[in-house]
Amino acid sequence: MTILALDTTTDICKLGIRKDSENFCCSAPAEKRQLDVVFPLLDDLLNSTGVKRKEIQGLIVPIGPGSFTGVRLTATIGRAIATALKVRLIGVSSLEALATTAARTSRCSNIATATDAKRKQIYFAAYVFEKETHQSKTVVTDRITFPSKITLPLGRPWVLAGEGWHHYENQLERIFLPLEHTGVNETEISDILAIGERKIGQNKIEEDVVSPVYLRHPVDI
């Protein structure tokens, strides 16, 4: 299986190809220039790996929750590339992707994620990972909330991922303060590839999964 992943939700444009269980990844600064950067970067990645466009069987993109502009742009670029390549476009949770990077790099199984949603709110979710396969089980679904209102299930040694914990540490309940942060604030494109590959392999692809997830109404953003 050969799949492509794209992430332009931040100022760094990230692309990755997974072919025969091997990842090929690249990135480039693209502050407010994602459209100018992503297509030449894709051409470079295909040329350097020798992967032909017709070999690609799916395109994986993060669909939020996150920045309105970043999530919408990634979905739009993803649709354009998927249409050109004539492949299925598959969306994955941005928080699950962040948690997957944190679980892989920290080797911890219980990951609570928090990213800045502005207006003194965070995007929050929690996942438990199987140590051998790194497949995740959602314990707290993706949501937008005030830091003071978040809770985690008891009885697990939770660790943290995402910059939201630092931004709002003064508003958190005391139970969160002793928890260790993994140091992971950015998703690696290889983990978006891994989630997408599992979804394809398990045939767990829902309809309309490429609609951006804002959690806050776009009019209010």
Choose the CATH number for 2-93+187-220 among 1.10.3720.10, 3.40.190.10, 3.30.420.40, 3.90.550.10.
3.30.420.40
- 99-118 residue pLDDT tens: 999 999 999 999 999 999 99
Interatomic CA distance for residues 186 and 221, integer angstroms: 22
Task: Determine what percent of the chain falls in helix, strand and coil, rounding each to the nearest 5.
Answer: 35, 30, 35
Alpha helices in the chain (DSSP H): 34-49, 68-85, 94-106, 164-167, 189-201
User: By the 8 A CB rule, do 42 and 81 touch?
Assistant: yes
Domain boundaries, the chain: 2-93+187-220, 95-176
Token representation of residue 83: 């249409």
User: What pLDDT score does 220 carry?
Assistant: 53
2-93+187-220 and 95-176 share one fold: yes
Residue 121's pLDDT band (boundaries 50, 70, 90)? very high
Instruction: Report pTM.
Output: 0.93
**Mean pLDDT value of segment 127-135:** 82
Domain at 95-176: CATH code: 3.30.420.40
